[in-house]
A = this chain, B = another copy of it.
Amino acid sequence: MDMAMDESLSPLAQPGSSDQQQIASASILLQIVMLGLAFVLGHVLRRHKIYYINEASASLLLGLFVGFVANVSNTEAHFRQWFNFHEEFFLLFLLPPIIFESGFSLQPKPFFSNFGAICIFAILGTFITSIVTGVLVYLGGIFFLMYRLPFHESIMYGALISATDPVSVLAIFQELGTDVNLYALVFGESVLNDAVAISLYRTLLAVKNHPLETHGFMSAIWSFLEIFVGSLSSGVGVALICALLFKYSGLAVHGLQNLECCLVVLFPYFSYMLAEGLGLSGIVAILFCGILMKHYTFPNLSEGAQAFTSGFFQLISSLAETFVFIYMGMDIAIKSHSWSHVGFIFFSIVFIVMARAANVFPCARLVNMLRPASRQIPMNHQKALWFSGLRGAMAFALALQAVHDLPNNHGEIIFTATTAIVVLTVLVIGGSTSTMLEKLDVVGEANGNSMILDGDDEEMEGLTTNSDDGHDDNGFDNGHMDPLTQKFQELRKSTASFTAIDKNFLKPFFTKEDKRRNSTDQAPNGKFRDVHVVRLLESFCIVLLVFLCT
């Protein structure tokens, strides 16, 4: 499919084509070997509990090493092309499985119970980080601290460098067993934040390229919301259609598992390409598609297909993830960088650390203001969140795009700085996470079990009971709160009632009847349910259509 582009654009594949194919094979061979090596290395490191060099760092170093060797040994140009990082390949083929898997493997309970906080960190926080970084970089340029970028470019740089990567930090979090709420915060923030950063970057680029069509700040916000909500609805829509298809198609029978799996595997990719094809953000679409497919489609599959698809998505995403770091390493080692802007890199690092602090601590304060005393985000969690802002493939891919998008060598400078930041944060933050987490006292048995998770079936039960008795977990009474907190409690009730809607209407409508649950639930509100289900479906379809049409 991707070969698609090379040939019609260039007169290659002349008599030398079989040689070129041989070179292509050799480079793929090398990449497979590296991929295998990275897996084995990662396994060995994990087995010996060596945390100061993790899987992602190992892959990155492996890629850097091979790229360096290829550079020194002066390999043939055609061979080297296979080592270059192509953001189109990354965005179309490597990123979708990674993001989908992170949505699909999400533990819904801690994620949804922290959803408000995650949104604050990811949406508001990323805005803050982008703007603070951008302004600081701009001011740094004005005061001759570093290379002077124009204001618009500075903000774009701020947006692209705000995309944090969930990969290696989370692997260590899982390994060491931290508090599930902290895990959900870090995970949720890093995933959603990619989506926000990419939307923001694209919005800024659109504003830059078509300055006449835009009318200032509000229209940029509007265009951002359009991208974000549109993408979200296309992901949600595809997942729900998929759920209904598998509910009614009767494919979950013996002998059709292959067909079932083939179709399930196509849907996430469909949602990604649909969003991208509409000019929206595929990453937001596929993330929500993953979350909803796990919730609604997964229960409709046959048992064999359930086991298979979980394994399949995990496999593909592991391969893609490891490959991304190798690929990045090779590209960094092979490309020539202008290291003359060391000052720019140094101050960039200082500024992103400051900007992340300006994101995490005020946002955490806001969240704590809105939360009851029992559910405050403690300071050590805030520090862990601040610390885990590792920059990875998303920032790298956006920086590569910036090379094409920004004129006057600005793109190149941004790219070099981003490269340095990615390598440094992956190696340094990735390597010191375990030490840091231990120092912050957020690891270990006590923390790991602070919120015991139930089975998948009961995933949202916790939220529902919260609202049922009007008290929260520890019996804190709503009556004695200030107005703001009370308002938020209402909001929280509405999320809780969303959970109730999900349990009573959405889940029964989109998934097959679960016999165990039915026997106890069905009696009280059988008819009531049917009427509401139809209304809900209607309103959903209307909402979907409206968003797709705009």
Let me know if A534 is at the binding interface, CB within 8 A: no
Let me know if A307 is at the binding interface, CB within 8 A: yes
Let me know if A31 is at the binding interface, CB within 8 A: yes
- Interface stretch (choices A177-185, A222-230, A269-277): A269-277
Q: A1-B82, A9-B12, A24-B88 are in contact. Are A319 and B262 (CB under 8 A)?
A: yes
- Interface stretch (choices A141-149, A212-220, A253-261, A471-479): A253-261
Let me know if A91 is at the binding interface, CB within 8 A: yes
- Interface stretch (choices A35-43, A154-162, A525-533): A35-43
List B contacts of A86 (CB < 8 A).
3-4, 6-7
- When chains A and B are docked, how far (Å) is the Cα of A31 from the Cα of B273? 10
On whether the beta carbons of A315 and B277 are closer than 8 Å, the reply is no
On whether the beta carbons of B263 and A29 are closer than 8 Å, the reply is no
On whether the beta carbons of B15 and A277 are closer than 8 Å, the reply is no
- When chains A and B are docked, how far (Å) is the Cα of A201 from the Cα of B6? 24
- When chains A and B are docked, how far (Å) is the Cα of A335 from the Cα of B209? 36
- When chains A and B are docked, how far (Å) is the Cα of A404 from the Cα of B14? 5
- When chains A and B are docked, how far (Å) is the Cα of A5 from the Cα of B312? 28
Q: A22-B277, A81-B5, A311-B308 are in contact. Are A262 and B17 (CB under 8 A)?
A: no
On whether the beta carbons of A10 and B7 are closer than 8 Å, the reply is no
Chain A facing B: main interface SS: helix
On whether the beta carbons of A282 and B25 are closer than 8 Å, the reply is yes
Let me know if A295 is at the binding interface, CB within 8 A: no
List B contacts of A6 (CB < 8 A).
2, 5-6, 9-10, 86
- When chains A and B are docked, how far (Å) is the Cα of A261 from the Cα of B307? 14
On whether the beta carbons of A18 and B202 are closer than 8 Å, the reply is yes
On whether the beta carbons of A259 and B43 are closer than 8 Å, the reply is yes
Instruction: Mark contacts of A40-52 with chain B using CB atoms, 8 A cut-off: 1 yes-contact digit, 0 otherwise.
Output: 1001000000000
Let me know if A358 is at the binding interface, CB within 8 A: no
On whether the beta carbons of A256 and B17 are closer than 8 Å, the reply is no
List B contacts of A7 (CB < 8 A).
84, 86, 88
- When chains A and B are docked, how far (Å) is the Cα of A438 from the Cα of B68? 63
List B contacts of A28 (CB < 8 A).
1, 92, 269, 273
Residue of B nearest to A273 (CB): B29
A284 CB to nearest B CB, Å: 14
Give chain A interface residues in 220-271, CB to chain B under 8 Å.
256-259, 261-263, 265-266, 269-270
A122 CB to nearest B CB, Å: 23
Let me know if A336 is at the binding interface, CB within 8 A: no
Let me know if A26 is at the binding interface, CB within 8 A: yes
On whether the beta carbons of A29 and B89 are closer than 8 Å, the reply is no
Contact of A10 among B9, B24, B257, B311 (CB under 8 A): B9
- When chains A and B are docked, how far (Å) is the Cα of A222 from the Cα of B317? 44
Q: A13-B88, A266-B35 are in contact. Are A29 and B315 (CB under 8 A)?
A: no
- When chains A and B are docked, how far (Å) is the Cα of A50 from the Cα of B148? 70
A153 CB to nearest B CB, Å: 15
Q: A21-B88, A88-B21, A404-B15 are in contact. Are A265 and B315 (CB under 8 A)?
A: yes
- When chains A and B are docked, how far (Å) is the Cα of A178 from the Cα of B258? 22
On whether the beta carbons of B273 and A15 are closer than 8 Å, the reply is no
- When chains A and B are docked, how far (Å) is the Cα of A10 from the Cα of B209? 23
Contact of A262 among B33, B202, B315 (CB under 8 A): B315
Let me know if A279 is at the binding interface, CB within 8 A: yes
- When chains A and B are docked, how far (Å) is the Cα of A319 from the Cα of B269? 13
- When chains A and B are docked, how far (Å) is the Cα of A36 from the Cα of B263? 6
A292 CB to nearest B CB, Å: 18
Q: A2-B3, A26-B273, A308-B308 are in contact. Are A91 and B265 (CB under 8 A)?
A: no
On whether the beta carbons of A315 and B312 are closer than 8 Å, the reply is yes
**Most chain B beta carbons < 10 A, residue from A15, A269, A308, A311:** A311
On whether the beta carbons of A3 and B273 are closer than 8 Å, the reply is no
On whether the beta carbons of A1 and B31 are closer than 8 Å, the reply is yes
Contact of A8 among B84, B257, B307 (CB under 8 A): B84
The 4 closest A-B pairs by CB, nearest first: A3-B89, A25-B276, A5-B6, A3-B86
Q: A1-B89, A32-B273 are in contact. List 8 more A-B contacts (CB 8 A).
A: A7-B88, A8-B81, A22-B277, A25-B273, A26-B277, A36-B270, A307-B307, A307-B308
Q: Give me 30 A-to-B residue pairs in the complex whose CB atoms sit less than 8 angstroms apart, sorted by A's number.
A: A1-B2, A1-B31, A2-B3, A2-B89, A3-B89, A4-B83, A5-B5, A5-B82, A6-B9, A9-B9, A14-B404, A15-B404, A17-B405, A18-B401, A21-B92, A25-B92, A25-B277, A26-B273, A29-B270, A29-B273, A29-B276, A33-B270, A36-B266, A39-B259, A39-B262, A257-B311, A262-B315, A307-B308, A308-B312, A312-B312
